[in-house]
């Protein structure tokens, strides 16, 4: 299930919200101060972007002489 990470711009609290429908994004409010001024953060668990937009399967980004 899509769980997005939000950061409140009012109190600075970061929280996670389960977004079932796309319309739920407009109703996301801070659980601490109930503020709508929240910004969604990119949450990619167990994944790191190195800039390479390759599909799947490939050598690691580390290149160097081995041996």
* Pick 15 or 19: Cβ nearer Zn ion: 15
Q: Are 33 and 15 in contact (CB under 8 A)?
A: no
Residue from 10, 19, 25, 29 that binds Zn ion (CB under 5 A)? 10
Distance spanning both ends of the chain, measured CA to CA = 44
Question: Can you tell me which of 32, 36, 43, 61 binds Zn ion, judged by CB under 5 A?
Answer: 32
Q: To the nearest whole angstrom, how small is the minimum distance from the Cβ of residue 17 to Zn ion? A: 13
From 2, 3, 11, 27, residue interacting with Zn ion (rule: CB under 5 A) = 11
How many CB atoms sit inside 10 A of residue 10's CB?
14
């Amino acid at each position: 299930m899509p769980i997005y990470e939000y950061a409140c711009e009012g109190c600075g609290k970061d929280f996670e919200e389960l977004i079932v429908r796309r319309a739920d994004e407009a109703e996301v409010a801070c659980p601490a101060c109930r503020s709508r001024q929240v910004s969604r953060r990119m949450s990619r668990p167990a994944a790191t972007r190195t800039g390479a937009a390759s599909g799947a399967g490939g050598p690691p980004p580390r290149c160097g002489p081995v041996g």
